[in-house]
Amino acid sequence: MDVTSHAHAPSRLGIFGGTFDPIHYGHLRAGEEVAEALGLTRLWFMPAAAPPHKARPGLTPFEARLAMTRLAVGEHPVLAVSDLEGGRPGKSYTVETLRHLRRELGPQGELYYVLGLDAILEIATWKDYRELFTLSHFAVLDRPGYDRSHLWTVLRGEVHPEFQELAGGEGFTHPSGSRVLLLATTRLDISATRIRTLARAGRSVRYLLPETVRRYILDNRLYR
């Protein structure tokens, strides 16, 4: 699937990468709010085929995580699902995805990479992480349990000493012009880890994720 197929100007694409094992309302509500706040033309949920940070025994196969993501997103005017990372061998490095999209979009295409505060605080562990900020803007989702004030320290300390603060505490600008925007999305304290733990214990996961995904988990005996 060509994620830039909607790149007729003016377009503003978002990429929401993740393991999505499984996708839940924390992801979905955040995606909805980011797409609205940034006026995105498309927001692609992009499951990582081989997540570099979340490789663990029992990781659900890519095809099943993709299927759950498709069920969750369904028919939506802006949100969509991309299997782009499924077509690449080896680990799913975000920098490779963003390089690819940047090539497709050209220098003018607007691209936002969406990720949670927990994830961006660990950005220095990502492959070629300094380059990421020359390829895309970033939209950071608030996440309960993580301190926004640490972001400034990480960005200036580990990524580039010349990050500047945007007015009104909205976020930061990289010398390349890319922005890191802090979005005040609804803080939903839901994690995939918690859902897997509940399911494994035979407990209810209802209302933490869409009913279609809950049924898929039951039908395919996931997280047993």
Q: Least distance from C-beta 43 to ligand ATP, angstroms? A: 12
Please give the sequence-ordered ranges of beta strands (E in DSSP) within the chain, or none if there are none: 12-18, 42-47, 79-81, 110-116, 137-141, 164-165, 171-173, 179-183
Residue placing its CB nearer to ligand ATP in the complex, 81 or 192: 192
Residue placing its CB nearer to ligand ATP in the complex, 164 or 207: 207
Q: Least distance from C-beta 192 to ligand ATP, angstroms? A: 3
Alpha helices in 136-191 (DSSP H): 149-154
Q: Least distance from C-beta 50 to ligand ATP, angstroms? A: 13
Distance between CA atoms of 18 and 210, rounded to whole angstroms?
A: 17
68 burial via Cβ count (<10 Å: 0-12, 13-18, 19+):
buried
Residue ranges in contact with ligand ATP by CB under 6 A: 18-21, 26-27, 30, 54, 115-116, 118-119, 141, 143, 188, 190-193
Residue placing its CB nearer to ligand ATP in the complex, 186 or 212: 186
Strand order across the 137-141 sheet: 79-81, 42-47, 12-18, 110-116, 137-141, 179-183, 171-173, 164-165
Residue placing its CB nearer to ligand ATP in the complex, 7 or 178: 178
3-state secondary structure of 170: coil
Q: Least distance from C-beta 139 to ligand ATP, angstroms? A: 10
Residue placing its CB nearer to ligand ATP in the complex, 7 or 133: 133
Q: Least distance from C-beta 117 to ligand ATP, angstroms? A: 7
